[in-house]
Amino acid sequence: MSEFTMDLSEEQKEIREWLHGFSVDVIRPAAAEWDEREETPWPVIQEAAKLGIYSLDFYAQQYFAPNGLGIPMIMEELFWGDAGIALSIVGTGLAAVGVVANGTEEQIGTWIPQMYGDASEVKVAAFCSSEPDAGSDVGSMRTRAVYDEAKDEWVLNGTKTWATNGGIANVHVVVASVDPELGTKGHASFIVPPRTPGLSQGQKFQKHGIRASHTAEVVLEDVRVPGSCLLGGKDKLDERLARAREKAKKGGERVKNAAMATFEASRPAVGAMAVGTARAAYEVALDYAKTREQFGRPIIDNQGIAFQLADMRTQIDAARLLVWRASWMAASGQAFTAAEGSQSKLFASEVSKKVTAQAIQILGGNGYTREYPVERMHRDSAIYTIFEGTSEIQRLVIARTLAGVPIR
């Protein structure tokens, strides 16, 4: 177990400065344009690919950092630049992690490169889990996967929603139910290769924020994929289903939902995204308060403004500490006995909404216009209390964990 530290390694400090420079030079100048266009910022993603930022190798190196602070550091710096563009850059990682976590070595080697493409022709991937009637309640999933033994193919039918890169992705990773009676224990993940018949993009959502990130429905109509596209393989799935059925027969045994446990471990990364957006808005407000004069003096000299900025900075630093603690615990293999992952995501996301709103207030009428970025940052921050589990779900997870009740 690594000793907890709030110091980044020298390599991490260099990477942080490099990412900050990318955010300053590439992301920030493009943010307003792509927010207005509500389109995927392909040129920015391509520039990130040229520099090695858009690649699984880059994130994997930081993921395995002993102190656990690599991923939150990356997320904070990129989302400091702009949340919509940053999500377009890191969104493929959701699908890639799904393959790495559940796939065989052959599947990882086959599909991960196709998710990212290369610097000359970038690709994106989509992770498709949520459904119109199954967001927080993953047990209500209706998308079905039926095995056609004669052809060694899986047939997928259903509709996915809120899919980042849904429909425009080169590779889709789809979570489907193979045994509805087992609830979440009967779920499996499948690769849908490029240009597979039956997969189409449904509604593209016109969003309040993170508008540079493509979000859409994915419709699956008799989508046939080879047996080799079942992540982990059929033998592993059959063994898992058999164990789940045996436990169901015994009755009375409540097993912690593996999907919820996975979300719990990934939530600090979302908290880091929220910290990045909050920090960006705070810095704009601080600079404005130092230079904006009213009644013959900078407005930061007014106690009402100064105290707001003091609270904003304190809350941001506290949020970062919760994120770093949870990230370190995950890297050290420590159990989240008090749902520390959800704590970090809950607090950081709520702080981001509050801080960005305060930034608008400090800028006054200017903050309400698109001439200043805090208006966009406030819109972007709303998503943090919604995706990867709403704030209400975070509180439920924390409360059930403290009560010793399994998360289902």
pLDDT-based confidence at residue 7 (cuts at 50, 70, 90): confident
Q: What percent of the chain has pLDDT over 90?
A: 77
Domain ranges of the chain: 10-122, 125-250, 258-403
Q: Is the dihedral of CA 384, 277, 336, 163 positive or negative?
A: positive
Determine the Cα–Cα distance for residues 74 and 8; give it in Å rounded to an integer.
Answer: 12
CB atoms within 10 A of CB 224: 15
Domain 258-403 in CATH 3.40.50.2300: no
Class at the top of the CATH hierarchy for domain 10-122: mainly alpha
300-346: pLDDT as tens digits? 999 999 999 999 999 999 999 999 999 999 888 888 899 999 999 99
Q: Which of 14, 371, 388, 392 does the annotation list as catalytic?
A: 388
189 DSSP β-pair partners: 175
Burial 334-369 (b: 16+ CB within 10 A, else e): eebeebbbbbbbbbbbbbbbbbbebbbebbeeebee
CB atoms within 10 A of CB 206: 8
Nearest to 86 by CA among 128, 51, 125, 54: 54
> At 135, is the secondary structure helix, strand, or coil?
coil
Q: What pLDDT, on the 0 to 100 scale, is given for residue 256?
A: 44
Q: Is 388 a catalytic residue?
A: yes
Contact 41, 212 (CB under 8 A): yes
CA distances from 122 to 22, 40, 234, 356 (A): 18, 12, 31, 33
Q: What pLDDT, on the 0 to 100 scale, is given for residue 265?
A: 63
132-190: pLDDT as tens digits? 886 666 667 899 999 999 999 999 999 999 999 999 999 999 999 999 988 888 999 99
Contact 193, 156 (CB under 8 A): no
Q: Which CATH architecture has domain 125-250?
A: Beta Barrel (2.40)
Radius of gyration of the chain from Cα atoms?
A: 22
